[in-house]
Amino acid sequence: MSDYSTGAAYVDGAFMPLSEARIPITHWGYRRSDVTYDVVGVWEGNFFRLDDHIRRFRASMAKLRMTPRESDAEIREILNRVVALGGMRSAYVAMDCVRATPAPGMPRHPAFARAYIMAFAVPWVWVASPEMIERGLHLMIPKVRRIPPEAFDPRVKNFHWGDLTEGQFEALDAGADFAILLDADGNVTEGAGFNIFAVTNGAVATPDSGALEGITRASVIELCAELGIPCAVRPISAAEFCAADEIFACTTAGGIMPAARIDGRIMNNDRPGPLSMRIKDAFWRRRAEGWHATPVNYAAAEEIPA
Protein backbone atom coordinates (compact mmCIF):
# COMPACT_ATOMS: atom_id res chain seq x y z
CA MET A 1 0.00 0.00 0.00
CA SER A 2 1.47 3.36 -1.05
CA ASP A 3 1.86 6.05 1.60
CA TYR A 4 0.27 9.33 0.51
CA SER A 5 0.26 10.88 4.00
CA THR A 6 2.75 13.64 3.11
CA GLY A 7 1.31 14.33 -0.33
CA ALA A 8 0.43 12.83 -3.69
CA ALA A 9 1.77 13.52 -7.17
CA TYR A 10 1.07 12.91 -10.83
CA VAL A 11 3.96 12.85 -13.31
CA ASP A 12 3.47 12.32 -17.03
CA GLY A 13 0.60 9.85 -16.75
CA ALA A 14 1.33 8.15 -13.42
CA PHE A 15 0.17 8.78 -9.84
CA MET A 16 2.56 8.22 -6.94
CA PRO A 17 3.41 9.38 -3.41
CA LEU A 18 5.02 12.82 -3.50
CA SER A 19 8.29 11.37 -2.19
CA GLU A 20 8.60 9.30 -5.37
CA ALA A 21 7.98 12.12 -7.87
CA ARG A 22 10.97 12.84 -10.14
CA ILE A 23 11.89 14.48 -13.44
CA PRO A 24 15.11 13.84 -15.40
CA ILE A 25 17.80 16.43 -14.73
CA THR A 26 18.33 16.71 -18.49
CA HIS A 27 14.82 18.04 -19.13
CA TRP A 28 14.59 21.67 -20.12
CA GLY A 29 11.91 22.28 -17.52
CA TYR A 30 14.74 21.92 -15.01
CA ARG A 31 17.80 23.05 -16.96
CA ARG A 32 16.18 26.12 -18.57
CA SER A 33 13.21 26.81 -16.28
CA ASP A 34 11.16 26.01 -19.38
CA VAL A 35 8.00 25.43 -17.41
CA THR A 36 4.75 27.10 -16.49
CA TYR A 37 2.59 26.33 -13.49
CA ASP A 38 -0.45 27.27 -11.48
CA VAL A 39 -1.55 26.69 -7.91
CA VAL A 40 -5.09 26.24 -6.64
CA GLY A 41 -6.08 26.05 -3.00
CA VAL A 42 -8.35 23.56 -1.26
CA TRP A 43 -9.92 24.80 1.99
CA GLU A 44 -12.26 22.67 4.08
CA GLY A 45 -12.83 20.21 1.26
CA ASN A 46 -13.40 22.73 -1.55
CA PHE A 47 -11.27 24.00 -4.40
CA PHE A 48 -11.43 27.79 -4.77
CA ARG A 49 -11.99 29.01 -8.32
CA LEU A 50 -10.73 25.76 -9.81
CA ASP A 51 -11.92 26.49 -13.35
CA ASP A 52 -10.30 29.94 -13.28
CA HIS A 53 -6.95 28.41 -12.30
CA ILE A 54 -7.13 25.75 -15.01
CA ARG A 55 -8.14 28.41 -17.55
CA ARG A 56 -5.12 30.56 -16.61
CA PHE A 57 -2.87 27.48 -16.69
CA ARG A 58 -4.01 26.66 -20.21
CA ALA A 59 -3.46 30.26 -21.32
CA SER A 60 0.09 30.14 -19.93
CA MET A 61 0.77 26.89 -21.77
CA ALA A 62 -0.54 28.38 -25.01
CA LYS A 63 1.68 31.43 -24.56
CA LEU A 64 4.71 29.15 -24.20
CA ARG A 65 3.55 26.91 -27.08
CA MET A 66 3.12 23.91 -24.84
CA THR A 67 0.56 21.27 -25.85
CA PRO A 68 0.49 18.41 -23.34
CA ARG A 69 -1.73 15.42 -24.05
CA GLU A 70 -4.09 16.10 -21.13
CA SER A 71 -7.29 18.07 -21.73
CA ASP A 72 -8.62 20.61 -19.23
CA ALA A 73 -11.16 18.04 -18.04
CA GLU A 74 -8.37 15.51 -17.47
CA ILE A 75 -6.30 18.08 -15.56
CA ARG A 76 -9.33 18.71 -13.38
CA GLU A 77 -9.59 14.98 -12.65
CA ILE A 78 -5.87 14.76 -11.89
CA LEU A 79 -6.07 17.59 -9.35
CA ASN A 80 -9.03 15.94 -7.64
CA ARG A 81 -7.17 12.65 -7.45
CA VAL A 82 -3.95 14.00 -5.94
CA VAL A 83 -5.98 15.72 -3.21
CA ALA A 84 -8.14 12.64 -2.65
CA LEU A 85 -5.17 10.27 -2.47
CA GLY A 86 -3.77 12.26 0.44
CA GLY A 87 -7.20 12.62 2.05
CA MET A 88 -6.46 16.31 2.60
CA ARG A 89 -9.25 18.69 3.63
CA SER A 90 -7.08 21.78 3.10
CA ALA A 91 -4.28 21.60 0.57
CA TYR A 92 -1.84 23.43 -1.68
CA VAL A 93 -2.33 21.95 -5.15
CA ALA A 94 0.15 22.66 -7.94
CA MET A 95 -0.05 21.91 -11.65
CA ASP A 96 3.04 22.21 -13.85
CA CYS A 97 3.67 21.86 -17.57
CA VAL A 98 7.31 21.00 -18.20
CA ARG A 99 9.34 20.85 -21.40
CA ALA A 100 11.34 17.65 -21.85
CA THR A 101 14.20 17.46 -24.38
CA PRO A 102 14.16 16.74 -28.11
CA ALA A 103 14.43 13.10 -29.08
CA PRO A 104 17.82 11.91 -30.38
CA GLY A 105 18.41 13.18 -33.89
CA MET A 106 15.91 16.03 -33.60
CA PRO A 107 16.94 19.72 -33.63
CA ARG A 108 17.86 21.16 -30.23
CA HIS A 109 14.91 23.54 -30.35
CA PRO A 110 11.93 23.77 -27.94
CA ALA A 111 9.52 23.15 -30.81
CA PHE A 112 10.80 19.57 -30.90
CA ALA A 113 10.67 18.96 -27.12
CA ARG A 114 7.58 17.27 -25.71
CA ALA A 115 5.64 19.10 -22.98
CA TYR A 116 4.05 17.07 -20.19
CA ILE A 117 1.96 17.60 -17.07
CA MET A 118 2.93 17.19 -13.43
CA ALA A 119 0.79 17.92 -10.39
CA PHE A 120 0.96 17.48 -6.64
CA ALA A 121 -0.99 18.16 -3.48
CA VAL A 122 0.44 18.77 -0.03
CA PRO A 123 -1.17 19.95 3.20
CA TRP A 124 -2.09 23.66 3.15
CA VAL A 125 0.90 26.02 2.88
CA TRP A 126 0.83 29.64 4.10
CA VAL A 127 2.91 32.20 2.17
CA ALA A 128 2.94 34.23 5.40
CA SER A 129 2.30 32.55 8.72
CA PRO A 130 -1.01 33.21 10.49
CA GLU A 131 0.99 35.07 13.16
CA MET A 132 2.51 37.39 10.54
CA ILE A 133 -0.89 38.02 9.00
CA GLU A 134 -2.38 38.83 12.40
CA ARG A 135 0.30 41.38 13.34
CA GLY A 136 0.60 42.73 9.79
CA LEU A 137 3.31 42.12 7.20
CA HIS A 138 6.53 44.13 7.27
CA LEU A 139 7.32 45.13 3.70
CA MET A 140 10.17 46.94 1.94
CA ILE A 141 11.19 48.20 -1.50
CA PRO A 142 14.44 46.50 -2.66
CA LYS A 143 17.06 47.76 -5.11
CA VAL A 144 16.47 44.89 -7.51
CA ARG A 145 13.84 45.60 -10.19
CA ARG A 146 11.20 43.28 -11.57
CA ILE A 147 11.91 41.48 -14.86
CA PRO A 148 10.21 43.75 -17.43
CA PRO A 149 7.14 42.53 -19.36
CA GLU A 150 9.08 43.19 -22.56
CA ALA A 151 11.49 40.41 -21.49
CA PHE A 152 8.90 37.94 -20.19
CA ASP A 153 5.15 38.29 -19.76
CA PRO A 154 4.43 38.20 -15.97
CA ARG A 155 0.89 37.02 -16.71
CA VAL A 156 2.47 33.63 -17.50
CA LYS A 157 3.31 31.94 -14.20
CA ASN A 158 6.94 30.95 -14.36
CA PHE A 159 10.05 29.87 -12.47
CA HIS A 160 12.09 32.94 -13.46
CA TRP A 161 12.40 34.02 -9.84
CA GLY A 162 15.92 35.48 -9.86
CA ASP A 163 14.64 39.02 -9.21
CA LEU A 164 12.07 37.94 -6.61
CA THR A 165 14.64 35.77 -4.83
CA GLU A 166 17.15 38.64 -4.68
CA GLY A 167 14.39 40.85 -3.33
CA GLN A 168 13.70 38.37 -0.56
CA PHE A 169 17.34 38.40 0.48
CA GLU A 170 17.24 42.21 0.55
CA ALA A 171 14.14 41.98 2.74
CA LEU A 172 15.91 39.57 5.09
CA ASP A 173 18.89 41.92 5.36
CA ALA A 174 16.53 44.82 6.13
CA GLY A 175 14.62 42.89 8.80
CA ALA A 176 11.42 42.82 6.73
CA ASP A 177 9.16 39.92 5.82
CA PHE A 178 8.78 40.53 2.09
CA ALA A 179 10.03 42.74 -0.74
CA ILE A 180 7.76 44.57 -3.19
CA LEU A 181 9.60 45.04 -6.48
CA LEU A 182 9.39 48.13 -8.68
CA ASP A 183 9.41 48.21 -12.46
CA ALA A 184 11.78 50.29 -14.59
CA ASP A 185 9.49 53.33 -14.23
CA GLY A 186 9.48 53.20 -10.43
CA ASN A 187 5.97 51.76 -10.09
CA VAL A 188 5.21 48.84 -7.76
CA THR A 189 4.53 45.42 -9.31
CA GLU A 190 4.26 42.45 -6.93
CA GLY A 191 5.99 40.41 -4.26
CA ALA A 192 7.31 36.85 -4.21
CA GLY A 193 4.14 34.92 -4.95
CA PHE A 194 1.54 37.57 -4.20
CA ASN A 195 -0.22 40.65 -5.60
CA ILE A 196 -0.41 43.92 -3.69
CA PHE A 197 -2.98 46.65 -3.04
CA ALA A 198 -2.72 50.16 -1.63
CA VAL A 199 -5.52 51.96 0.23
CA THR A 200 -5.67 55.77 0.22
CA ASN A 201 -8.61 57.85 1.45
CA GLY A 202 -10.88 54.81 1.43
CA ALA A 203 -10.07 53.82 -2.16
CA VAL A 204 -8.22 50.67 -3.17
CA ALA A 205 -5.73 50.38 -6.05
CA THR A 206 -3.64 47.56 -7.51
CA PRO A 207 -0.94 47.70 -10.22
CA ASP A 208 -2.06 47.39 -13.82
CA SER A 209 1.17 45.91 -15.23
CA GLY A 210 4.32 44.06 -14.31
CA ALA A 211 2.51 41.48 -12.19
CA LEU A 212 0.61 38.24 -12.44
CA GLU A 213 -3.12 38.69 -12.93
CA GLY A 214 -3.83 36.77 -9.74
CA ILE A 215 -7.01 34.79 -9.14
CA THR A 216 -7.18 36.04 -5.55
CA ARG A 217 -6.52 39.56 -6.88
CA ALA A 218 -9.59 39.18 -9.11
CA SER A 219 -11.52 38.01 -6.05
CA VAL A 220 -10.51 41.15 -4.14
CA ILE A 221 -11.73 43.32 -7.01
CA GLU A 222 -15.06 41.45 -6.94
CA LEU A 223 -15.32 41.87 -3.17
CA CYS A 224 -14.67 45.60 -3.40
CA ALA A 225 -17.56 45.89 -5.85
CA GLU A 226 -19.80 43.90 -3.48
CA LEU A 227 -18.79 46.03 -0.50
CA GLY A 228 -19.08 49.35 -2.35
CA ILE A 229 -15.36 50.10 -2.00
CA PRO A 230 -13.79 52.04 -4.89
CA CYS A 231 -11.12 49.90 -6.57
CA ALA A 232 -8.86 50.88 -9.47
CA VAL A 233 -6.37 48.93 -11.56
CA ARG A 234 -3.70 51.48 -12.44
CA PRO A 235 -0.05 52.44 -12.03
CA ILE A 236 1.04 53.00 -8.41
CA SER A 237 4.29 54.85 -7.86
CA ALA A 238 6.66 53.86 -5.09
CA ALA A 239 6.01 57.22 -3.42
CA GLU A 240 2.24 56.70 -3.42
CA PHE A 241 2.61 53.12 -2.22
CA CYS A 242 4.89 53.99 0.68
CA ALA A 243 2.59 56.86 1.75
CA ALA A 244 -0.62 54.79 1.58
CA ASP A 245 -3.02 54.64 4.52
CA GLU A 246 -3.06 50.86 4.28
CA ILE A 247 -1.40 48.11 2.26
CA PHE A 248 -2.40 44.51 1.85
CA ALA A 249 -1.25 41.55 -0.23
CA CYS A 250 -3.22 38.60 -1.56
CA THR A 251 -2.41 35.12 -2.80
CA THR A 252 -3.85 31.63 -3.16
CA ALA A 253 -1.80 30.33 -0.22
CA GLY A 254 -2.81 32.96 2.30
CA GLY A 255 -5.86 34.87 1.11
CA ILE A 256 -5.76 38.52 2.19
CA MET A 257 -2.59 39.50 4.04
CA PRO A 258 -2.63 43.03 5.54
CA ALA A 259 0.61 44.93 6.13
CA ALA A 260 1.64 47.01 9.13
CA ARG A 261 4.96 48.46 7.92
CA ILE A 262 6.51 49.61 4.65
CA ASP A 263 10.19 50.56 4.49
CA GLY A 264 10.16 51.00 8.27
CA ARG A 265 7.15 53.34 8.25
CA ILE A 266 4.50 52.18 10.72
CA MET A 267 0.86 52.23 9.62
CA ASN A 268 -2.28 51.96 11.76
CA ASN A 269 -0.41 51.77 15.07
CA ASP A 270 1.65 48.85 13.73
CA ARG A 271 -1.42 46.74 13.01
CA PRO A 272 -3.46 45.75 9.93
CA GLY A 273 -5.66 48.58 8.69
CA PRO A 274 -9.46 48.60 9.14
CA LEU A 275 -10.38 48.47 5.45
CA SER A 276 -7.84 45.69 4.83
CA MET A 277 -9.39 43.72 7.69
CA ARG A 278 -12.88 44.35 6.34
CA ILE A 279 -11.86 42.85 2.99
CA LYS A 280 -10.00 39.98 4.68
CA ASP A 281 -12.98 39.08 6.85
CA ALA A 282 -15.35 39.31 3.88
CA PHE A 283 -13.06 37.05 1.84
CA TRP A 284 -13.05 34.23 4.37
CA ARG A 285 -16.75 34.69 5.17
CA ARG A 286 -17.64 34.36 1.50
CA ARG A 287 -15.36 31.33 1.21
CA ALA A 288 -17.21 29.68 4.11
CA GLU A 289 -20.49 30.38 2.28
CA GLY A 290 -19.29 28.41 -0.76
CA TRP A 291 -18.21 31.34 -2.94
CA HIS A 292 -16.52 30.03 -6.13
CA ALA A 293 -16.25 26.61 -4.45
CA THR A 294 -15.91 23.23 -6.14
CA PRO A 295 -16.14 20.24 -3.78
CA VAL A 296 -13.22 17.82 -3.98
CA ASN A 297 -14.19 14.43 -5.36
CA TYR A 298 -12.69 12.31 -2.61
CA ALA A 299 -14.03 9.16 -4.26
CA ALA A 300 -11.39 9.74 -6.95
CA ALA A 301 -8.82 8.10 -4.68
CA GLU A 302 -10.64 4.80 -5.08
CA GLU A 303 -10.04 4.92 -8.82
CA ILE A 304 -6.25 4.70 -8.38
CA PRO A 305 -4.79 1.21 -7.94
CA ALA A 306 -2.86 0.71 -4.68
Q: pLDDT tens-digit profile of 226-237?
A: 999 999 999 999
Domain co-membership, 208 together with 169: yes
Pairing of strands 46-48, 91-102: unpaired
Return the closest-CA partner of residue 249 out of 223, 222, 214, 224.
214
Note whether 92 and 157 are same-domain residues: no
- Strands 178-179 and 137-140, by their bridges, are parallel
**Is the distance from CB of 48 to CB of 251 less than 8 angstroms?**
no
Q: Which of 124, 151, 176 is the last residue of a domain?
A: 124
What pLDDT does residue 45 have?
Answer: 98
Same domain, 186 and 225: yes
Q: Residue 205, CB half-sphere, CA atoms under 13 Å: how many? A: 20
Look over the chain and give the mean of its residue pLDDT values, rounded to a whole number.
97
Domain-embedded: residue 300: no
Whether residues 169 and 53 fall in one domain: no
Buried b (16+ CB within 10 A) or exposed e, 64-87: bebebebeeeebbebbbbbbbbbe
- Of 62, 91, 124, the residue at which a domain comes to its end is 124
220 and 142 both lie in a single domain: yes
HSE toward the beta carbon, residue 71, CA cutoff 13 A: 2
In terms of Cα–Cα distance, which of 213, 186, 250, 246 is closest to 59?
213
- Is 69 part of any domain? yes
Region for 186 from its dihedrals, namely left if φ exceeds 0, alpha if ψ lies in -120 to 50, beta otherwise: left
Q: What is the CATH number of the domain that holds 149?
A: 3.20.10.10
Residues 119 and 138 in one domain: no
156-160, 282-286, 299-303, range with the lowest pLDDT: 299-303
**How many other CB atoms sit within 10 Å of the CB of residue 49?**
20
Our CA angle for 6, 122, 306, nearest 5°, is 55
Co-location of 61 and 134 in the same domain: no
Q: What is the mean pLDDT of residues 208-217?
A: 97
Query: Does the pLDDT at position 306 exceed 90?
Result: no
If asked whether residues 34 and 85 sit together in one domain, one would say yes
pTM: 0.95
pLDDT for 305 equals 46
Distance of CA 299 to the CA centre of its chain: 27
pLDDT of amino acid 1: 73
Residue 72 sits in a domain whose CATH number is 3.30.470.10
Residue 169 structural domain: 130-288
Q: Is residue 163 part of a domain?
A: yes
Q: How many domains does the chain have?
A: 2
Average of per-residue pLDDT across 199-209? 98
